[in-house]
Amino acid sequence: MRHTYLIARREYLSYVATPGFWLSLAMVPVFMLLGIAVPVFLDRSTPTRYFTVVDHDGRYEQVIADKINREYDAQVRSILRGLAKVPGQEAGALKALEALDEGQDVASASVHLGLQGKTALSAIKQTYILVPPPADTEDGLRPYLLGKKQITTPDGPKELYAAAFIERGADGSVSIDYWSKAITAERLKSTIRRAVRDEMRTEAFARAGLETEIVRTINAMHPVISTLSPEKADGEAEVTASDRAPYFAAVMFAFILWMIVFSVANMLLTSTIEEKSGKVLDSLLCAAPVRALLTGKLLGVAAVSFTLLAGWAVAGAIATSMGTQFLPEGGSNNIASIIGAVLNPGLILPFLGYFVFGYLMFGSIFLALGSLCETLQEAQTLMSPIIFTLMIPMLALSFALQDPDSPILAIISWIPLFTPYIMLARLPADPPMMDIIGTTLVMVITTMIVLWAAGRVFRAGAMHGAGGGLFQETGGVGQGQTGQELGPNLRLRHTKTAASKLTGGFFEFGTKAQNQIICLRSGLHG
Amino acid sequence: MSTPVFALKDVSKTFSGKPAVQNLSFSVNTGTITGFLGPNGAGKSTSLRIGLGILAPDSGEAELFGAPPNFNVLDRVGFLPEERGLYRKMNTLAVIVFFGRLKGMTAKKAKKRGLALLKQFGLGDVAYKKVKTLSKGMAQKVQIIAAIVHEPELVILDEPFSGLDPVNQRTLEELIRTLADQGTTILFSTHVMEHAERLCDRIVLLAAGRKIFDGNVDEALQTLPRAVLMQTGDGADPAQALDGLVQSITPEGGVEDERQNWRVELAAGADAQDVLRACVENGVNLTAFEPQKRHLHDVFVHLVDQDESRGAS
């Protein structure tokens, strides 16, 4: 135990002392924060854009202004409805909504809100404001669009962001010339197009004899789709964000599991190679049993990954609590649902279990590989097939959200190397108990076998490094053969020829009586 | 008689059909300095690894402190492997403390002893520097310290002098003597005989995996025929004058100014005084006469040659 603890401790400290660890620790929360903060920041930092419409007919200018105001109004109401569900904010939010219904503007309505409400509301603003055209020709507007002249606004002189010239043809067709320096920005152009399109339709229906009001009612019609789950009780069958959250959380967990296993398995590989190439293993072999080396490394790096997970969890909790304050009703509800799903022991416990087995399987494989290689370049040739193998569950996970009951997922989940990721993603869909028990058993047995085999390969690989002088000892440089004990009935044999110095050698695994497995290893040297 | 702290009993080890160690038996007694000598590829490192339990022998037994090697008794052993390396990103003292703790020391004690040893080796100012900043010689000394920090009863050093400059070789020799004076048993392998000659109470000589000598330095020197180097002034052959006193007389080099060098191997029972007297009495024109000093190096070459001749025949 002493050896295992000390090796695990050294391994752990050697990683947490590196800048890479802190980068990894910071990376996920930073991206989480950025994911929440950047859109808010971008929205807040975007200046108010002033645009104008030159509509000689005068039909569409007001339609466009109304459309833009309605979009802004919808955003404000969404925030207020969200706030109405927050304890302590309900009364103010409802009063603000009433004020809006009475026709008050947002500034007037917001006086009913507390600090949190005002902060949330300040996150959105009216991005586009329609102003009267300072000129009614393209040449006349060009200096304003180029910033050579400024328009007068309630906020002072400003640059004109865009101008739309709306022309109506004799046949009733409408063309819009949209002028702006921001040639890739689509949002305002799209809003103008939709506003004009709706009005054109209304006009067309009116010409056909329908009353404008009826047309507007028809345009506003849309079917209300409710998603219902037969697994839920009558009257409560509607699928909510809380029902979907476990699926999202499970796939998210599966991705996190994959990411962690992949990163920490790489740590094991590089650390073993460093010890081999640095000839430290020789000293360690006399100071600690091989079993302690293997276990200590696995435990040390597992502790690193738990530290990362804990750090990410804390950062995630902080980020989500901050984020929910700024998100509109739907967003904060979804986040609350996902947090609820994430904190569900029914998902956390399997996640931890699958992490242990996934980590042990891939970690021990990478450790064994590391023990066979002298350099990272050598290891990379061996890692490629494993990386390709690891990519399969990643690809499969992309289907898991759409169809967690997919037969392909069911089949793949029986492959023990993929079980941790795929079964985790399948769990919310309540897979058959046979699948859960069966895949877990196969995974546990496979993990035991992999650990046993990796332990023996690690022992052999480590001792090969320790016996670097064996070619000298046997006097067979260029032609000699070395052998290392793997156990009572297993022997690792490394045949080295002059040619193998250039092209690589072969490790042969098998019983002493009959070698069975051959593993290519390149660049061996004694 | 005390139990040997290290023993190999009829140990053989073969790698893919090629014998690395053949029926090797030797033991190391408490408080001695034993040199484990042999040319490169003789099987020294393999033997030491078998003795430490890192490698399993095909046949025979290894014992440490009277028991098969295990990590309880290995805590009483300090081992400097031939392939040397340290954690390059750790600081010097931390590496020493780590190995000390692996061998059962407390962190506090390992740190105290590590610092003392670093100072003794003139490395006090690099205690908190990263290993990767150390020179090769410094790193090697740090590794030696890491091997002995836990004050082991038995210290096994595999080629400890290789890579060290003459000054540091001397420092290491002094350390070995100091450790031995404190009662530590030392077993070290080398193919540089001067160190063994200066340090060892006992030497075990290995060639092609077989033990070809086991005894003290004087006994080793006795295996060499005594010889005299002499020079005659008139080019005459002194063989006749020395009849009965010599085993062989061999001219060395060419004749220069009618002067000829001779290497004279003495017959059993004869000594250099007898040869000198015979030369004088028989009128041999001697211009130089020097009894040849025997060194372990000559013993080494002589025994290895002898062993190879036997193997060839």
Domain annotation covers residue B303: no
Q: Looking at the complex, does the CB of residue A416 fall below 8 Å from at least one CB of chain B?
A: no
In a shared domain, residues B132 and B260: no
In this structure, the answer to whether residues B132 and B271 fall within a common structural domain is: no
Chain A closest-CA separation from residue B114 CA (Å) = 17
Considering the domain architecture, whether residues A329 and A422 belong to the same structural domain is answered as yes
Assess A289–B contact: CB distance below 8 Å, yes or no: yes
Q: Are residues A148 and A254 in the same domain?
A: no
What DSSP designation does A500 have? H
| Closest Cβ opposite residue B46 in set A6, A465, A473 | A473
| pLDDT, mean of residues B297-306 | 77
Candidates B44, B102, B208; nearest CB to A3: B102
CA B74 to CA A288: how far, in whole Å? 9
Residues A493 and A430 in one domain: no
Question: CA of A4: which chain B residue's CA is closest?
Answer: B102
Amino acid making up residue A356: V
Residue A40 domain-assigned?
A: no
Judge if A249 and A123 occupy the same domain: no
Closest by alpha carbon to B96, among B140, B142, B164, B136? B142
Comparing CB atoms, the residue among B41, B71, B143 nearest residue A475 is: B41
Nearest CB neighbour to A474, from listed B41, B44, B49: B41
Backbone angles phi, psi at A150, to 5 degrees: -120, 150
On whether the CB atoms of residues B74 and A285 are closer than 8 A, the answer is no
If one counts every other C-beta atom within 10 angstroms of the C-beta of residue B54, the result is 23
Taking alpha carbons only, the member of B256, B213, B201 closest to residue B232 is B256
Residue B82 lies in a domain: yes
Domain boundary among B221, B249, B284: B221
Q: Is some CB atom of chain B closer than 8 A to the CB atom of A279?
A: yes
CA-closest candidate to residue A129, choices A47, A186, A45, A43: A47
What does the alpha-carbon distance between residue A362 and residue B271 come to, in Å, rounded to a whole number?
74
Nearest one of A385, A438, A448, A383 to A415, comparing CA atoms: A438
> Which run of H or E residues covers position B13?
strand B6-15
Are the Cβ atoms of B56 and A485 closer than 8 angstroms?
yes
Residues of B in contact with A282 (CB under 8 A): 81-85
Contact B87 A468 (CB under 8 A): no
Q: In the numeric block, which tokens belong to residue A341?
A: 């799903």
Taking residues B136-155, report their average pLDDT: 88
Given A189, A219, A249, which residue is the final one in a domain? A219
**Can you give the residue range of the structural domain that contains B247?**
225-293
**B55 and B163 both lie in a single domain:** yes
- Could you list the beta-strand ranges (E) of B71-194: 77-80, 154-158, 185-190
Q: Tell me whether residue A122 is in a domain.
A: yes
Q: What is the pLDDT of residue A51?
A: 92
At A163-206, the pLDDT tens digits run 999 988 887 788 999 999 888 888 899 999 999 998 888 888 88
What value does the mean pLDDT of chain B take? 84
Query: Do the Cβ atoms of A279 and B81 come within 8 Å?
Result: yes
Does residue A195 belong to any structural domain of this protein?
A: yes
Tell whether A228 is covered by a domain.
no
Contact A428, A247 (CB under 8 A): yes
- Are B15 and B135 contained in the same domain? yes
The encoded tokens of residue A117 equal: 């409400």
Is the CB of residue B90 less than 8 Å away from at least one CB of chain A?
A: yes
Q: Which of B46, B104, B146 is the closest to A283 by Cβ?
A: B146
* Cβ-based neighbours of B190, under 8 Å, separated by 6 or more: B35, B36, B37, B159, B160, B161, B162, B196
CA distances from B149 to A100, B73, B93 (A): 80, 16, 11
**Quick one: which of A196, A265, A255 has its CA closest to A394?**
A255
More confident residue, B291 or B109: B109
Question: Taking CA A282 as the corner, what is the angle to CA A281 and CA A288, rounded to the nearest 5 degrees?
Answer: 70
Q: Of the residues A219, A252, A271, which one is the last residue of a structural domain? A: A219
C-alpha A462/C-alpha B290 separation (Å) is 54
Q: Give the side-chain half-sphere CA count within 13 A for A400.
A: 33
User: Based on the domain organization, do B158 and B144 belong to the same domain?
Assistant: yes
Q: Please name the amino acid found at residue A198.
A: D
**Looking at the structure, do residues B123 and B204 belong to the same domain, yes or no?**
yes
* Number of independent structural domains in chain B: 2
Q: Which two tokens stand for residue B108?
A: 């506090």
Location of structure tokens 């990263």: B130
* pLDDT of amino acid B185: 92
Neighbours of A212 (CB within 10 A): 11
CA distance, residue B16 to nearest chain A CA (Å): 6
pLDDT for A189 equals 92
The domain of A146 spans 47-219
Are residues A364 and A455 in contact, defined by beta-carbon separation less than 8 angstroms? yes
Q: Would you call A14 and B77 a contact, using CB atoms and an 8 Å cutoff?
A: no
Decide: B44 and B5 in contact? Cβ < 8 Å: no
- The Cα–Cα gap between B36 and B53 comes to 18
Contacts of B146 in chain A (CB under 8 A): 283
Q: Which two tokens stand for residue B27?
A: 């033991």
A400 and A459 fall within a common domain: yes
* Contact at CB, B88 and A278, closer than 8 angstroms: yes
Whether A239 contacts A228, CB under 8 Å: yes
Assess A287–B contact: CB distance below 8 Å, yes or no: yes
Whether residue A411 is found in the same domain as residue A443: yes
Instruction: Suggest the residue from A456, A473, A481 to mutate for an interface test with chain B (most B CBs closer than 10 A).
Output: A473
Does A303 share its domain with A418?
A: yes
Mean pLDDT for back-to-back runs of 10 residues, chain A (526 residues): 88 82 78 72 77 86 88 84 75 86 82 77 80 89 90 85 88 88 87 90 84 78 76 70 75 82 78 75 79 84 84 75 57 61 74 82 81 76 79 80 79 86 82 86 85 78 49 30 34 35 32 32 30
> Which of B18, B54, B98 is opposite residue A466, by nearest beta carbon?
B54
The CATH number assigned to the domain holding B35 equals 3.40.50.300
Q: What is the mean pLDDT of chain A?
A: 75
pLDDT tens digits, B67-95:
888 877 888 889 888 877 788 888 999 99
**First and final C-alpha spacing in chain B:** 40
Chain A residues with CB under 8 Å of B79 CB are 283, 286-287
Query: Do A156 and A249 reside in the same domain of the chain?
Result: no
**Chain B nearest-CA residue for A508:** B16
Task: Tell me, yes or no, whether B156 and B264 share the same domain.
Answer: no
Q: How many domains does chain A have?
A: 3
Residues B216 and B229 both lie in one domain: no
Taking Cα atoms as reference points, which of A82, A81, A75, A86 lies closest to residue A97?
A81
Residue B202 lies in a domain: yes
Nearest CA in chain B to A274: B87
- What are the tens digits of pLDDT across the range A74-103? 888 888 887 777 777 788 888 888 888 888
Among the partner residues B15, B49, B81, nearest to A482 by beta-carbon distance:
B15
- Which of A219, A251, A277 is where one domain is finished? A219
Q: Look at residue B2 in the predicted model and tell me its pLDDT.
A: 64
Is the domain of B73 the same as that of B183? yes
Per residue in A218-251, pLDDT tens? 777 777 777 777 777 666 777 766 777 778 778 8
Same domain? B148 vs B278: no
* Beta-carbon count within 10 A of B235 CB: 12
Q: Could you tell me if residue B311 is inside a domain?
A: no
Q: DSSP states of A14-60 as a string?
A: HHHTSHHHHHHHHHHHHHHHHHHHHHHHHHHHSPPEEEEEEETT-SS
Over the stretch B121-139, which tens digit does the pLDDT of each residue have? Answer: 888 888 899 888 888 788 8
Note whether A481 contacts B: Cβ–Cβ < 8 A.
yes
Q: Which of residues 21-40 of A touch B (CB under 8 A)?
A: none
State residue A5 phi and psi, 5-degree precision: -60, -45
Q: Which of B167, B192, B221 is the last residue of a domain?
A: B221
Same domain as B199, residue B121:
yes
Region B99-106 average pLDDT: 90
- For residue B155, the chain A residue with the least C-alpha distance is A286
**Contact criterion met (CB below 8 Å) for B37 and B46:** no
Burial label for A495, CB within 10 Å (0-12, 13-18, 19+), is middle
A495 inside 8 A of chain B by CB? yes
Nearest to B40 by CA among B197, B224, B189, B194: B189
A376 in B contact zone (CB under 8 Å):
no
d(CA A397, CA A391): 10
pLDDT in tens, B251-263: 877 666 778 888 8
Is residue B170 within 8 A of residue B120, CB to CB? The reply is no
Let me know whether A182 and A320 are in one domain: no
| Chain A interface, best mutation among B6, B11, B45, by max A CB count within 10 A | B45
Is residue B308 in a domain?
no
Task: Assess if residue B309 is contained within a domain.
Answer: no
Q: What is the pLDDT of residue A493?
A: 37
Domain boundary pick from B173, B205, B221: B221
Which residues, including other chains, have CB under 8 Å from residue B52's CB and lie 6 or more apart?
A286, B62, B64, B69, B74, B77, B79, B156
- The answer to whether residue A286 neighbours chain B at the CB level (below 8 Å) is yes
Same domain, A359 and A278: yes
In this structure, what are the phi and psi dihedrals at residue A442, rounded to the nearest 5 degrees? -60, -40
CB A417, CB A361: distance < 8 Å: yes
Rounded to 5 degrees, φ, ψ at B290 are -145, 115
Residue A405's φ and ψ, nearest 5 degrees, are -95, 10
User: Edge-to-edge, what's the strand order for the sheet holding B210-215?
Assistant: B77-80, B154-158, B185-190, B33-37, B202-207, B210-215
Interface of B with A in 236-255 (CB under 8 A): none
Q: In Å, how far are A418, B170, B226 from A393, measured between CA atoms?
A: 6, 61, 78
Amino acid at B153: E
Q: Are residues B215 and B136 in the same domain?
A: yes
- Residues 461-480, chain A: which have Cβ within 8 Å of B? 463, 465-470, 472-476, 480
Residue A293 and residue A144 share a domain: no
Asked whether residue B153 is domain-assigned, the answer is: yes
Report the half-sphere exposure of A228 (CA within 13 A, side-chain side): 9
Instruction: Please check whether residue A501 is in contact with residue A478, taking contact to mean a CB–CB distance below 8 angstroms.
Output: yes
Contacts of residue B41 in chain A, CB cutoff 8 Å? Answer: 472-475
Nearest CB to B102; choose among A288, A470, A472: A288
The reply to whether A301 and A348 lie within a common domain is yes
CB contact under 8 A, A466 and B43: no
**Comparison of pLDDT for A315 and B34, the residue scoring more:** B34
Contact B18 A280 (CB under 8 A): no
Q: How far is B54 from chain A (nearest CA, A)?
A: 7
Residue B106 CA to residue B112 CA, distance in Å, equals 10
Asked if A283 is an interface residue toward chain B (Cβ–Cβ < 8 A), one would say: yes
First to last CA, chain A: 33
B190 reaches A (C-beta below 8 A): no
Q: Decide if A367 is inside a domain.
A: yes
The CATH number assigned to the domain holding B247 equals: 3.30.70.260
- Asked if the C-beta of A10 comes within 8 angstroms of chain B's C-beta atoms, the answer is yes
Is there a contact between A474 and B17 if contact means CB atoms under 8 Å apart?
no
Q: Do B79 and A481 touch (CB under 8 A)?
A: no
Tell me, yes or no, whether B298 lies in a domain: no
Q: Which residues sit opposite B252 in a β-bridge?
A: B261
Q: Do B82 and A282 touch (CB under 8 A)?
A: yes
CB contacts, 8 Å: B43 with chain A: 473
